[in-house]
Amino acid sequence: MDKINRRAHINAIQAALENYPVTALLGPRQCGKSTISRTIAEIYKAQKGVSVHSFDLEDIYDLQRLSNIKLALDHLEGLIIIDEIQLKPELFPYLRVLADRYPDRRYLILGSASRDLIEKASETLAGRIEYIELTPFSLTEIPHQQKLLQLGGFPRSILATDADVSFNWRKSYIQSYLERDLPFFGIKLPTVDLYRFWIMVANYHGQLVNFSEIGCVLGLSDQTIRRYISILQQTFMVRCLQPWFVNIAKRQIKTPKLYLRDSGIYQALLDIRPNELDAHPKKGAAWEGFAIEEIIRLYKARPEECFFWRSSQGAEIDLLIVRGEKKFGFEIKYSDHPSITKSMRSVMVDLSLSELNIVIPLVDANYYLDETIKVVGLNHIQQ
């Protein structure tokens, strides 16, 4: 496979570095943040002629170098890159001091935790920092839908030499995430229970999540499970779509739906190998989660703009993006020939949609079932 073009992300980082003293590049571990930071470093050295200094806080030597933050950073000029910033949150207040004292310097910090998870530490940088989220590879970067659906977008999975290598890498990634990352962020469970928790989460993929049921199995309160799933969200592993509420007479569902954000990780958790997906009963759920992530990326939609909707009478829509007065509706179907349903008609009326997109796996699908309901492949979705 040719070298992957991540120019859009590089351009966004360059723009942020021009306008803010600190730029935070956030995303799941091993999604390509370090690789992009090296590209940025090369650009700064070649085009701007400035010095670049890098620290990786998972490297014990770099961690020791930063044991005295003032001594390590005060004299550095140009671009300073700090990887895995969440491992040393005490850096944030001093970065504010440096940003104010030396306005020509630039700091690119990389983290495997979301803005919300590090916000308390980084709040001293308010007005001085731009946050950018980097996801695993998407269809705009690797236009091979079936391969991305089966293997997910993590570079070492999608670029593996064969399907078995990809599957084994994802299994190792899951184990590392469970045994190292989750305990660091506050999920204190024995390893066996961590695995049970993860598998239960995976089995709720595409469904309304029952916090009490998970808690009952693990002997924990539903509030504890809510906190644990919030950590999964904030480390970019799961997405909880909140229900959209409208002022209509029908009763509406108020429980969030849960999705594993990477289709490859989801399938590895359920032991679904790439050649098994087409015949597996979870293929529809895998496609739904995959399509939702791709649409959200395409629309550059923030979490607070993304919803699902379902009434107690059964009318529902898988993804609703609400941006100001505009609503964009998507129903995800693992079907070659979808048809209009009573539920779709109800959704159009209840949510006052001008158009509903039925998203199916056929790459070249792009036609209307009637004046307002359109069948599309992911590559034909337009904002």
Residue in the structure block whose two tokens are 């024995």:
190
pLDDT at residue 263, rounded to an integer: 98
Q: Are strands 238-243 and 306-310 parallel, antiparallel or unpaired?
A: parallel
pLDDT at residue 248, rounded to an integer: 55
Q: Answer for the pair 200, 214: CB distance below 8 angstroms, yes or no.
A: yes
Q: Where residue 247 falls among pLDDT bands split at 50, 70, 90?
A: low
Residue type present at position 149: L
Between helix 211-218 and helix 191-203 the angle, nearest 10°, is 150
- pTM of the entire structure? 0.93
Beta bridge partners of 238: 260
Q: Where residue 276 falls among pLDDT bands split at 50, 70, 90?
A: very high
DSSP for residue 19: H
Mean per-residue pLDDT for 305-312? Answer: 89
| Cα-Cα end-to-end distance for the chain | 29
pLDDT at residue 113, rounded to an integer: 84
3-state secondary structure (DSSP) of residue 276: helix
pLDDT at residue 185, rounded to an integer: 85
CA angle 365, 344, 202 (to 5 degrees): 75
pLDDT at residue 102, rounded to an integer: 94
Tell me the two tokens of residue 286.
């895998």
Q: What percent of the chain has pLDDT over 90?
A: 81
pLDDT at residue 63, rounded to an integer: 93
pLDDT at residue 132, rounded to an integer: 94
CA torsion angle 191 256 357 145 (round to 10): -10
Residue 12's closest CA among 80, 2, 33, 191? Answer: 33
Residue type present at position 94: Y
Q: How far apart are CA 351 and CA 343, in angstroms?
A: 12
Tell me the two tokens of residue 252.
């509406």
Q: Where residue 251 falls among pLDDT bands split at 50, 70, 90?
A: low
The alpha-helical segments, DSSP class H, found in the chain are: 7-19, 33-43, 60-65, 69-73, 91-101, 115-122, 145-151, 155-158, 163-176, 182-184, 191-203, 211-218, 222-234, 263-269, 283-299, 342-350
What are the φ and ψ backbone dihedral angles of 307, each rounded to 5 degrees?
Answer: -145, 170
Query: Each residue of 195-228: pLDDT tens digit?
Result: 999 999 999 999 999 999 999 999 999 999 999 9
Q: Answer for the pair 129, 23: CB distance below 8 angstroms, yes or no.
A: yes
Dihedral sign, CA of 87, 65, 69, 35? Answer: negative
**169 has a pLDDT exceeding 70:** yes
Phi-psi region of 78 (alpha: psi -120 to 50; beta: other; left: phi over 0): left
Taken in order of first residue, the domains within the chain and their CATH numbers are 7-133 (3.40.50.300), 145-380 (no CATH)
**4 has a pLDDT exceeding 70:** yes
Query: Each residue of 110-126: pLDDT tens digit?
Result: 999 887 777 666 778 88
C-alpha 143: how far from its chain's center? 19
| Helix (H) / strand (E) containing 41 | helix 33-43
